[in-house]
Structure 1
């Protein structure tokens, strides 16, 4: 399911200071899929050859290392080489179902900015912005609320590792008005300007984004970060790793390492009750960095992903052509993903901010006024009618996950994974969702109350008048 958590600063807000006192770090869970682009067979062979060479030299590799090589290798990585979004890709997401999704997040951003005391400097930061659809819809809201934001120094900052997608984003956001940095050591590797004059910058890491009051958005970003997998055994926790199948040299398999690893000794909580656990240390590091920035400079973070609150076990899987795909088959030709453990992210956030939520995307959209928005501007909805759109935004049909065929034993043998079953037909006809899964969650009761009181009638009247999001 999709969930949303909110982090607030422990300081009280003040509308008289530049650095706001109300700090929020929010996150949602979501996951859905639907598309697949034609795959390059030679690229697949190259990735597999690289992985098998690495394993032969060093032994089995962790699932985290496998994901890094397959998804983010600078030469052959899936996210580096492929256009994975859209009808010809491997998945699509909520902003492409309708522009209304992004417009409502735009209202959320303005509400947070107002609740923080309307600081003069306002950075909108998105992680993994896809084709730029979400930020485009948000900026449309900002443009139509120009009277509120006219005295604000607003800028857009995109964290994107894919050169190919950054070019698509630049074209959609800035047209021809962008250029790559001349010096590869510059923090921003691309800069441009929107048609309304807003500066847009691209970065590879959060560390390169300038500090200051910021609203951070991560929509279906954390689910693709590398995870470690662990299995409880009679002799304690052992790590699941990736090895070469001894019977088929061109295939990979999961194995259970008989001895403890550094990861299995340090990443599992002492009170863990599950028998199988997935941990994403990189996600925890990013959360800590966001928390530190928000605590010091002000802002909020909304993190949307499919996930759970520390209850699920084996969720690692692949998606190719909008269908479930064995994550070890044809590496480099499919998206790899695992449900986000929000209980882990909350622990990583620490006590410097307050975590609220999670709640479902359905509740978030409802409380953000999607019904009012549909009544005011039904003509912008495509495909389908206004009556059908909420359900397409709320959820998609659940898909079966990959599961181990048997309980692994501590003998180093392969963990057998069955061929994935065909997922049910998705309810979503478009949008950045991976096919066959429920739509994201996105808000907390605490934030909804602040929206009603602090954002005030300025935003509510704008929605009633139908100003937002005219196509």
Structure 2
């Protein structure tokens, strides 16, 4: 592979104008009743488990609430958008997805455009981000070198993604296949779905994740006079109905012995062990197969403590009430990501979403789009733009973080990673 050390600064002035789809449906009374019944059923399952085995970790509770095959929050309903419980930047219009696409294309070009290129997205939501990225790559004339690989555990969301991205999809009957669904876009780009990142083929890849790591299970720990203890979830004995509460483990747990750093200064810590496993897997892949990664999420650089919370109807919700009826999330500790990958990867960030998007040229792209739209489209564009970049909205709350193989260190000193340093 011959490295192309030309530093690219590409502003896509000629991309098709596109506006977010408005296919969200209102939840009717019947659906609300079904969600309530599922929540009661899940609460009873958790109650039975705790009565049988004792208090469970926050990680176990979170995993069961979000991905239980029957009653899990993500598994059987549309949770994203105006009529869901939260909204993401890719759903606010094309601007976010285009800036991510330009970043991917720039970094790919700067290291010689190795082919084939796998675009891999973990937790792709409705497929809006992937749709925007593929459209930009198509406009640059490289769609024949690209394939799309989606890591998605929700049957419901995988169907929505297929509707967004593909003209046709099939579910193979061959049990040896690692992917559970495949399709093709209108431009004949192949799309594959997997249950796990470990199932994605080992090739040069660009890994993307938007609001993926914040939904992975976390362990919570509290410093006590007796040392570190894990915070667990138990049944509230004083409640008349099924209700849960936090308790502190009496003794050290395996997690509290393994996951706490020896030099930890905070008194309360959240650790996403599952995220660490995924990061270590990606580190091996990037080192051995080549590629890079870009993550966008709520997060911090090792300074925050108690961030575990629920969201329902775009409002904060008690994470222990009506399990399965609300999203559960915790801010990503990017310092933990750095620790997990420092022996194999270079890390950049976190930087705020506002910084990243402005460095990528979102203001220039916005002005181009505003010249070619009617009043309603103009209103939607500006609303989405301000939601994404304003400091009191998503602009400061979300962070961007990128990963590259250590072998590129000298190259990235000469040509800094786009979006993570001032031009």
Distance 1:335 1:355 in 2: 29
Distance 1:63 1:182 in 2: 36
Aligned to 1:15: 3
The answer to whether the 8 A contact 2:121-2:151 is kept is yes
Deviation at 1:382, TM superposition (A): 4.1
The answer to whether the 8 A contact 2:150-2:192 is kept is yes
Cα distance, 1:371–1:290 mapped onto 2, change above 3 Å: same
Task: Give the alignment of 1:100-139 within 5 angstroms.
Answer: 100-139=95-134
| Structure 1 position 75 matched with structure 2 position 107 | no
Deviation at 1:76, TM superposition (A): 1.6
What is the TM-score normalised by the length of structure 2?
0.85
Task: Give the alignment of 1:7-86 within 5 angstroms.
Answer: 14-15=2-3, 39=32, 40-86=35-81
Cα distance, 1:448–1:46 mapped onto 2, change above 3 Å: farther
Distance 2:174 2:290 in 1: 31
Structure 1, 264-273 or 387-396: larger mean CA deviation: 387-396
Distance 1:58 1:396 in 2: 45
Deviations 1:199-226 (CA, angstroms, capped at 9, x unpaired): 0000000111001010000000000000
Distance 1:210 1:285 in 2: 18
Cα distance, 1:438–1:333 mapped onto 2, change above 3 Å: farther
Structure 2 residue aligned with 1:441, among 385, 399, 402? 399
Cα distance, 1:83–1:451 mapped onto 2, change above 3 Å: same
Distance 1:383 1:164 in 2: 32
Structure 2 residue aligned with 1:236, among 219, 227, 242? 227
The answer to whether the 8 A contact 2:347-2:401 is kept is no
| Structure 1 position 209 matched with structure 2 position 200 | yes
Distance 1:43 1:386 in 2: 37
Q: Segments of 4+ in structure 1 off by > 3 A?
A: 35-39, 379-383, 385-390, 446-452
Counting matched residue pairs gives 383
Deviations 1:90-134 (CA, angstroms, capped at 9, x unpaired): 011001212011011111111121112111210000000000000
Aligned to 1:141: 136
Cα distance, 1:99–1:131 mapped onto 2, change above 3 Å: same
Distance 2:413 2:58 in 1: 36
Deviations 1:379-433 (CA, angstroms, capped at 9, x unpaired): 4694627666543211464xxxxxxxxxxxxxxxxxxxxxxxxxxxxx5xxxxx7
Structure 1, 244-253 or 52-61: larger mean CA deviation: 244-253
Structure 1, 326-335 or 352-361: larger mean CA deviation: 352-361
Deviations 1:17-52 (CA, angstroms, capped at 9, x unpaired): xxxxxxxxxxxxxxxxxx995541110111001000
Structure 1 residue aligned with 2:295, among 287, 303, 312? 303
Deviation at 1:180, TM superposition (A): 1.2
Deviations 1:217-250 (CA, angstroms, capped at 9, x unpaired): 0000000000000010001011100000001141
Distance 2:383 2:82 in 1: 20
Aligned to 1:200: 191
Structure having the larger proportion of residues in helix: 2
The answer to whether the 8 A contact 1:317-1:325 is kept is yes
Aligned to 1:467: none
Cα distance, 1:110–1:392 mapped onto 2, change above 3 Å: same
What is the TM-score normalised by the length of structure 1?
0.77
Which structure has more relative contact order (CA 8 Å, sep 6+)? It is 1
Aligned to 1:261: 253
The answer to whether the 8 A contact 2:209-2:296 is kept is yes
| Structure 1 position 346 matched with structure 2 position 338 | yes
| Structure 1 position 371 matched with structure 2 position 363 | yes
Deviation at 1:83, TM superposition (A): 1.2
Distance 1:315 1:353 in 2: 27
Distance 1:355 1:361 in 2: 16
| Structure 1 position 223 matched with structure 2 position 211 | no
Distance 1:187 1:443 in 2: 28
Cα distance, 1:78–1:229 mapped onto 2, change above 3 Å: same
Deviation at 1:447, TM superposition (A): 9.0
Please give the root-mean-square deviation of Cα atoms over the aligned residues, in Å: 2.5
Distance 2:257 2:26 in 1: 38
> What stretches of structure 1 of length at least 5 have no aligned partner?
1-12, 17-34, 398-426, 428-432, 453-471
Distance 2:248 2:397 in 1: 33
> What stretches of structure 2 of length at least 5 have no aligned partner?
5-24, 403-411, 419-423
SS at match of 1:76: coil
Aligned to 1:97: 92
Deviation at 1:78, TM superposition (A): 0.8
The answer to whether the 8 A contact 2:296-2:401 is kept is no
The answer to whether the 8 A contact 1:115-1:450 is kept is no
Structure 1, 122-131 or 91-100: larger mean CA deviation: 91-100
Deviations 1:185-204 (CA, angstroms, capped at 9, x unpaired): 42110000000000000000
Cα distance, 1:75–1:388 mapped onto 2, change above 3 Å: closer
SS at match of 1:303: strand
